[in-house]
Structure 1
Amino acid sequence: MQLPARDIVREYTEAVFRRARVPMEPLNFEVDWGDQPSRHTAYPAARTVPLPTRLPELATLRDLFTGASPSAPTGWSMTRLAALLRLSYGVLDRRMTVNWNQDVAKRAHFEHAVWGRGTASGGGMYPVEVHLVAGASAPLLPGVYHYDTGRHVLQRLLVGDVSSNVRAGLAGPEDTDSFLVASIRFWKNSFKYNSFCYHVVTQDLGALLGSWELLASALGVPLRRLLCFDPEPMDRLLGFDSDEQSVFAVVPLSWHTDTGAGDPAVPTRAGDGEVTPATVQVGHAAHERSQRVRRFPAVTAVHRAAATAPAVDPAAVLDAAPRPLPGDPVALPEPRLDLLDRPLSAVLTGRSSSFGRFRRPPELTVAELGTTLAFAAAGRPHPADAGLPADAAALTRLWVFANHLDGLPAGGYAYCARRHALLPAASEPDIGMSAFLQQQYFLTNYTMGQVGAVLAVSGRLDAVLDAYGPRGYRILNAEIGAVAQRVYCATTAQRVGCGAVLGFDNVSMDTALGLDGSDERTVLFLLLGRNSDAVADLEYRL
């Protein structure tokens, strides 16, 4: 008997949270690295449209945090769109660092090279695909385009204004005829993570959206992302088998034409025509490197459940925020704005994960921790097109496992953004915080004794499911991914090391924070610490 969609989502997430104790199926899975998919999807027969390659110097993180970023022009241009795409998901450089991580020897060989991108991705898989559906108002031929991340070009897949196929799936009317459409191709992640894939890729999507929101603010262009819609008309237009690839987010675009003097012209808008989807679909096929593409039943089941069209309850959305916590707050130093005084473009091109590179002393300072928490929390609210105010309460909370921090005793803390303070959640474990964290971490790529602090991002999954239905799982993970990307940006600006991980025993970590008996669960963790300067590394800018 088929379970209700919500129960399928809960069953999957429970398996995710307990996978440190009960492995997820398929058991004894082995990755076939020789048959992995390409990291860059391409359509060999499609025509290419060049994009501007110059990366602009953007507003600093300090300006973005204080609201001193550029005033918004009236719309997008191809120059701004190209900067958004390349700095968020395009290839920026080749990186090679000498460290103790177990795969470092392979990275010296070209076929195993690490190609840096501005947005973090679980395992470096980058499963999100970006398409531009351009209508008559766009500054290029109307049609459907795919962003080729490897070459930083658009590939034209279809000619003609088919924006009605996107609008047909949206929950409300949109006064535009052009859209960025973000889809997820599961095999680009599941070939490595099998059934765990869906949890990872939905956070990957959030990280990309977090980058887009920062970039749009720095470019001075408004950006809204839509997560509550019916993907079926868009999947059909793009030629997707929805069990293998599906649209997860839509960003409406309003265009303007650059005058040459830097002043925006009046934006062009879509007409108020009837939304009747065209009976066409993309005819080009993407290149598939893998000889065998596998599906995993757990991924298919949870995706079908979470794809159920949401029936949003605005009152329940407001009630889904984490509950206030008791306790005497520990004040944090005011955010060090001077530490955030780096352009966003430089931050994204320098962002990386600290695999095998954490070293101490010196210790991470409480000022650096507080600055990171404040910047990360400033971008959390994601109403997800539910008709809520932009300042609606966030669905997530940030926690701190203080390990080796200059100015803060070891222990567990909840971050209160309103007061910029920490609320003690638990004392240091009897075995010591480093030993506790290492005991709960079931991977081998980090040594907790070198980590200054572990940030945890939590949410009330059941309450979010009450608010959005099964789609709430994707919405919560999108906010979590966006928080992670902001943590990466804040730490990069401060020259602090960061690494996002999913390898902790969530059950034990929840218990350590006093979450037993509540409906709040930790979902993602971010390690903070010092990266050693005395290392040999290579960064070849593209």
Structure 2
Amino acid sequence: MNLAQDNRETATARDYVEAVVRRAREPMPPFGFEPDWGDQPYRHKVYTEADHLPLPRDGKPVGPLATGLTPARDAAPEFDLPTLSGMLADSYGLGVRRMGVNGNKDNEGRTWYGAATWARGTASGGGLYPLEIYLVAGRGAPVTPGVYHYYTPRHTLRRLLAGDLTGRVRDALDAAGDSTGASTANCYLLISVKLWKNAFKYNSFSYHAVTMDVGTLLGGWQTWARARGLGLTPRLWYDEEALDRLLGLETAAEGVMAVVPVELRDRPGAPASPPVLRGEPAVARTELERSRTLIRFDQVESVHLAAAAAGAAPPPDAAEAAFAIPAADDVGSIRLPAPASLDMDVRTAVRRRRSSFGRFSARRRLAADKLSALLHHGTEGGRLQTAEVRQGRHGLHRIAVFANHVDGVPSGAYDFTPDGGLHPITGDPLSPFLQQQYFLDNYNLEQAAAVLAVIGRPTAAVEALGARGYRLANADVGALAQAFYTCAAALGVGCGAALGFDNVSLRDRGGLAAGDEWPMLIVMVGHERERSAELDLRMA
């Protein structure tokens, strides 16, 4: 990529970021857009006439959530097929059908089976789950070499193309500079985003949400693998168009947004066979599209194509130094107690994970050690560790805490510091301010014990790393959200994440107006109403 093109792509991503963070004051086009719910796409990508390979059941516990959220030295990504099956099922497989009394407006429709929604272990903006997972398997794997699509409704792999195509993935990684050892892996998990599966509802804003969805999945895999004693290191820089061609995708409509090398064998440590690459075969099967009308959104496609055109991966140290945010003070004015323990198994935690949707109740205050656990484990273990950026103590984002009903913490806004301190931020009372900044009516923010705001510098990320730096920054936000959700489930605390708020007002109240920092996500935590009616129908 030449310098002029690089500047053009960076400017496109920077303009999109500015439009997103100011959308409460200056709406994004198309103005007055309303989703056509009767013409929404399939929630599960469907390839017709593709063979199903049932995945074996993983009967072993995954491991403690505390272990999964503890930063560790790199471990080998040596999976067998049951282990890979377990990680896929616990992250993106269908888990439970839930109906309950909450603040959402679509509860009545969910009582009908045709409109049922099935929860998964991974959080997703609006519950839309727009990600697709592919496995490119090579020689030595316990499946026939080829390209497979993970079909979530039946928890199967559908073979789309036979033959060892792992060399094509390696070439794509090498094009961006591979110094991670990924070229030795015999299999690769590819995560793609079908833009229409989110844009039909969120239109031009959708790209902001789906790039965080990528992070929730990668963060969940990172936690799962650590708890099992394995390691996963995602790659976000590669020749994206080459991988899109391999999967038969039109880059403007769907693109590969992450590559995760895995060593998939019948038994760990089995020797690899050298790959053989002949020609450039690609997936020729096409998916079955439910929607009669597909709408293209200019802002979504332009920022996506800008990120897809990214060149070489940035130096890890330079990338972190360019836009990492140190917390305000080394020592806070309030010291939180030691974090409450997280002994729950990861599988149990992700199966209990859910969004609270207006069920918060201030009748029970949140214990300070539970807030401490959420902040400590969420920020320490939830940071996304990619091959391109290995995060240090301060990370790419920091947390501001808006405390409403926490034991030992006066109501107010605080900067959270990594040593467990809360440093006060002066300003107006939180109530009714917080509720006034939230777009929807499915949450009462005053009833939440605390609202955690993830603070980042997305424009600086784009300037430092190019257009794909925006994806990295958002993926890190998503990984933090997934960590907060699973921590809350393990602590028996309600949780809900939201993007629908006035970024400008929240930035000003958080004391960020003088810099380029922005609140990127809010996460509400606290106890829920007791004895609320709910149906919890789990799949076998």
The answer, yes or no, to whether TM exceeds 0.5 is yes
Q: Does 1:454 align with 2:451?
A: yes
The one-letter amino acid paired with 2:67 is D
* CA pair 55-414 structure 1, distance change in 2 beyond 3 A: farther
- Asked whether the 8 Å contact 1:316–1:466 carries over to 2, the reply is no
Of 163-172 and 495-504, deviating more is 163-172
Which secondary structure state, in structure 1, belongs to the residue aligned with residue 79 of structure 2?
Answer: coil
Are residues 1:141 and 2:144 paired?
yes
Q: Please give the residue correspondences for 1:79-98 in structure 2 after superposition, counting only pairs within 5 Å.
A: 79-98=82-101
> Does residue 473 of structure 2 align to residue 470 of structure 1?
no
1:336-375: CA deviations, max 9, x gaps?
A: 11xx111110011111101121122011222211110001
Residue type matched to 1:38 in 2?
A: Y
Q: Does 1:291 align with 2:288?
A: no
Q: Post-superposition shift, 1:99?
A: 2.8
Provide the C-alpha distance between the structure 1 equivalents of 2:11 and 2:257, rounded to a whole number of angstroms.
Answer: 21
3-state SS in 2 of match to 1:405: coil
CA 1:55/1:540 → structure 2, altered by over 3 Å: closer, same or farther? farther
Q: Summarize the Cα distance change of 1:84–1:309 in structure 2 as closer, same or farther, 3 Å threshold.
A: same
Name the SS of the counterpart of 2:274 in structure 1: coil
Q: Which amino acid aligns with 1:222?
A: G
CA 1:310–1:376: 2 relative to 1, 3 Å: farther
| Cα distance in structure 1, aligned partners of 2:106 and 2:77 | 47
Residue identity in the other structure for 1:353: S
Task: Give the share of equivalent positions with the same residue, in percent.
Answer: 42
Q: Quick check: 1:510 aligned with 2:513?
A: no
In the alignment, what sits opposite 2:530?
533
Structure-to-structure mapping, 1:213-252, within 5 angstroms? 213-252=222-261
Correspondence for 2:370: 368
* 1:381 shift after superposition: 4.3
**Residue deviations 1:422-469, cap 9 Å, x none?**
122234x1xx31200011112111112211111011112233223321
* 1:261 paired residue number: none
1:284 positional shift: 1.4
TM-score by length of 1: 0.93
Structure 1 residue 255 corresponds to structure 2 residue 257:
no
Residue 227 of structure 1 deviates from its aligned partner by: 0.5
Residue 201 in 1 paired to residue 210 in 2? yes
Measure the CA separation in 2 of the matches of 1:292 and 1:256: 43
1:154 pairs, out of 157, 176, 191, with 157
Match of 2:64 in 1: 60
The letter for the 1-side match of 2:421 is A
How do 1:60-459 residues align onto structure 2 when only pairs under 5 Å count?
60-65=64-69, 75-170=78-173, 171-172=177-178, 174-258=183-267, 264=268, 266-271=269-274, 278-311=279-312, 312-319=314-321, 320-326=323-329, 329=332, 330-337=334-341, 340-382=342-384, 384-386=386-388, 391=392, 393-417=394-418, 419-427=419-427, 429=428, 432-459=429-456
Q: Distance in 2 between matches of 1:67 and 1:179?
A: 23
Structure-1 residue corresponding to 2:36: 32
Distance 2:70 2:299 in 1: 43
Counterpart position of 1:10:
14
Q: Which runs of 5+ in 1 are unaligned?
A: 259-263
Q: Deviation of residue 67 (structure 1)?
A: 7.2
Task: Mark the CA change 1:193 to 1:73 in structure 2 (over 3 Å): closer, same or farther.
Answer: closer
Aligned AA (1:365)? A
Q: Which moved more, 1:448-457 or 1:190-199?
A: 448-457
Q: Is this contact kept in 2: 1:228–1:384, CA < 8 A?
A: no
Cα distance, 1:166 vs. partner? 1.0
Aligned length: 526
Q: Tell whether the 8 Å contact from 1:255 to 1:269 is kept in structure 2 after alignment.
A: no
Q: Is the 8 A contact 2:245 2:282 kept in 1?
A: yes
Q: Which amino acid aligns with 2:505?
A: S
RMSD: 2.1
Separation (CA, whole Å) in 2 of partners of 1:442 and 1:234: 38
Relative to the length of structure 2, the TM-score reads 0.93
Say if 1:380 and 1:396, in contact at 8 Å, map to a contact too: no
Q: Secondary structure, in 3 states, of the residue corresponding to 1:401?
A: strand
Tell me the CA shift for residue 17 of structure 1. Answer: 0.5
CA distance in 1, matches of 2:494, 2:118: 18
